[in-house]
Chains A and B, each alone.
Chain A
Amino acid sequence: QVQLVESGGGVVQPGRSLRLSCAASGFTFSSYGMHWVRQAPGKGLEWVAVIWYDGSNKYYADSVKGRFTISRDNSKNTLYLQMNSLRAEDTAVYYCARDRVAVAVYYWFDPWGQGTLVTVSS
């Protein structure tokens, strides 16, 4: 079955960097757009970034543009999120999510991984 497993979260000081990974299995990873979505503790959902199935396009939320970089390695079935210049307001559970449709990007998130918690604190 389709499975997404995030890793790399933890506690980091403001201004430092962290890289998240999302290992995918159970589907043809190279055929799907992939997203990162985050959820601050006790809050709602915020879309963070998308990467096209072939890596040709990447888009970011204004709140992370210039600080975060999304990437993928289709040979390893893995999605990444490089987070630099972290701020307290970046504290959240970070979910990776697959786009619902193959070889297109529709911004419908299905399914989601279980999430990894990033805490930015001194």
Chain B
Amino acid sequence: EIVLTQSPATLSLSPGERATLSCRASQSVSSYLAWYQQKPGQAPRLLIYDASNRATGIPARFSGSGSGTDFTLTISSLEPEDFAVYYCQQRSNWPRVAFGQGTRLEIK
């Protein structure tokens, strides 16, 4: 079973600042990693797939990087609407796909 560990659990930043979220896999998932954003009371939204590809309609301020076991989601300059919970997800050993526990990005 591949376990994804996200850090930090909570990140407090101000609009305009740069956000860096981490996701670490217990074993290599190659580049088979995605990131999702979930706002309160809403369904998740796909941001990044295959570690670094932005999904349709996702602003350029969102970027993903990494491969193997260490991955990063970067938001270059936070907008007010970016404060949400972010999940990483791997599909390396489908059908046993897994999500990380989430990082809450809150306004400082």
Taking beta carbons and an 8 Å cutoff, which residues of A are in contact with B? 44-47, 50, 59-62, 95, 100, 105-115
Contact = CB atoms under 8 A, between A and B. Distances in A.
B46 A108 contact: yes
Nearest to B46: A110
Interface in B41-97: 42-46, 49-50, 55-56, 87, 89, 91, 94-97
Contact of A107 (B44, B94, B100, B102): B94
A114 B43 CA distance: 5
A47 to B, nearest CB: 5
B2 interface: no
B23 interface: no
Contacts, number: 57
Interface residues of B, number: 23
Contact of A109 (B44, B94, B101): B44
A61 B49 CA distance: 21
B58 to A, nearest CB: 10
A112 B43 contact: yes
A112 B44 contact: yes
Nearest to B1: A62
A107 B97 CA distance: 8
B102 A44 contact: yes
B105 to A, nearest CB: 15
Contact of A113 (B34, B43, B100): B43
Contacts of A59: 94-95
Nearest to B43: A112
A46 B43 contact: no
A100 B87 contact: no
B85 to A, nearest CB: 9
A107 B91 contact: yes
